[in-house]
Amino acid sequence: MTWMQIVFIVTAAVTLGSAVRVVSSGKMLHAALWLVAALFGVAILFAMLEAGFFAVVQVLVYIGAIAILVIFAVMLTRHVMEDTGPQVIQSWWLAAILAAMVFAGLVVLIISAGFKAQLPPIQDSQTMIVALGQALVMPDGYLLPFEVASVMLLAALVGSIYIAYQKR
């Protein structure tokens, strides 16, 4: 049990624990802050997968922007009655069984697949970032998804402003 595996188990436990708290906590803002803890755990997992760029982007985009957007939305829809009522639908146990079955099915699939355990060598992540930058722009690389992503972001921006903007 090398120290790397210990760090992995601790991070996985923290991530899954805070994910459970996100799903089961009553007050909405506590759920949002547990979501931030879960996202931070996922960022540590990315760092352990030697994709440092994505660990930083995860903290920047998810924790810096999406979590704060969720907290703003929670604040905008403050409704005192909301916090006292039961947060979960009556047949929540059905959803719990379904989720457990999905998890069991996936675990069986993963274990039976028998992935080879050795770790291929990796060049340092600087070349990964440069390769990623070039791949996003090369016509034979991923140029089309790059431009379509910008059109999609524009549509998301214009659409949500149109919906959320309230002329005083």
- Using CB under 8 A as the binding rule, the residues of this chain from 39 to 98 that contact other proteins are 39, 42, 44-80, 82, 85-89, 92, 94-96, 98
Per-residue x/- track, 149-168, other proteins (CB under 8 A): xxxxxxxxxxxxxxxxxxxx
Smallest separation, CB 84 to other proteins (Å): 12
Using an 8 Å Cβ cutoff, are 38 and 3 in contact?
no
Smallest separation, CB 81 to other proteins (Å): 9
- Give yes or no for residue 10 binding other proteins (CB under 8 A): no
Is the C-alpha dihedral spanning 70, 64, 61, 106 positive or negative?
A: negative
* Binds other proteins by CB under 8 A, chosen from 1, 84, 128, 140: 128
Torsion of Cα atoms, 152 then 158 then 163 then 168, to 10°: 160
